[in-house]
């Protein structure tokens, strides 16, 4: 039997590399040039028998800066946050806000009537009411029992 010398610092370094690789695979929207995570609005979806209710958190923007496009199968939201900071001549300006454009496409679980969508943007939250297509409301599927 061969004895191997245990080096705890090498084990810690290996663990750190594995954790970094795990987090890199979980966050594909990392901007490699600035080491900052790109902005992606958080979403919450709720389905009722008649509609799909989609809520997106997009703080710090005006409704005019948002572009919402809806197809029968998906919703695409895009926009741009513009920086409004003024650099002073003698001092240092530091900002932790994220600026730039974003785009998120959310696939829908059922077909909707994309010509009858209602939207409201208030207090940084975009609420979309997406009525289901009549075909989806009345669809009955026969289940085979085996």
Within the chain, residue ranges assigned H as helices are 8-26, 134-137
pLDDT band at 35 (very low <50, low <70, confident <90, very high): very low
Ranking 18-27, 60-69, 107-116, 122-131 by mean pLDDT, the lowest is: 18-27
Domain ranges of the chain: 37-83+98-137
Say which CATH topology domain 37-83+98-137 has: Immunoglobulin-like (2.60.40)
Q: Is the pTM of this model over 0.75?
A: no
Helix ranges (H only) for 5-138 are 8-26, 134-137
Tokens of 53: 């209710």
Question: How far apart, in whole angstroms, are the C-alpha atoms of residue 57 and residue 125?
Answer: 5
Under the banding of pLDDT at 50, 70 and 90, the label for residue 70 is very high
């Amino acid at each position: 039997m061969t004895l191997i010398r245990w080096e705890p610092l090498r084990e810690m370094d290996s663990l750190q590399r594995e954790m970094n690789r795990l987090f890199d695979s979980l966050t594909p929207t990392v901007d490699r040039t600035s080491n900052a995570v790109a902005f992606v609005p958080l979403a919450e979806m709720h389905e009722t028998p008649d509609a799909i209710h989609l809520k997106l958190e997009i703080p710090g923007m005006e409704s005019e800066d948002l572009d919402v496009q809806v197809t029968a199968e998906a919703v695409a939201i895009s926009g741009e946050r513009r920086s409004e900071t003024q650099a002073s001549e003698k001092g240092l300006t530091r900002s932790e806000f994220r600026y730039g454009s974003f785009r998120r496409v959310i696939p829908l679980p059922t077909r909707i009537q994309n010509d009858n969508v209602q939207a409201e943007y208030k207090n940084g939250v975009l609420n979309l009411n997406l009525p289901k297509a009549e075909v989806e409301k009345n669809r009955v599927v026969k289940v085979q029992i085996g």
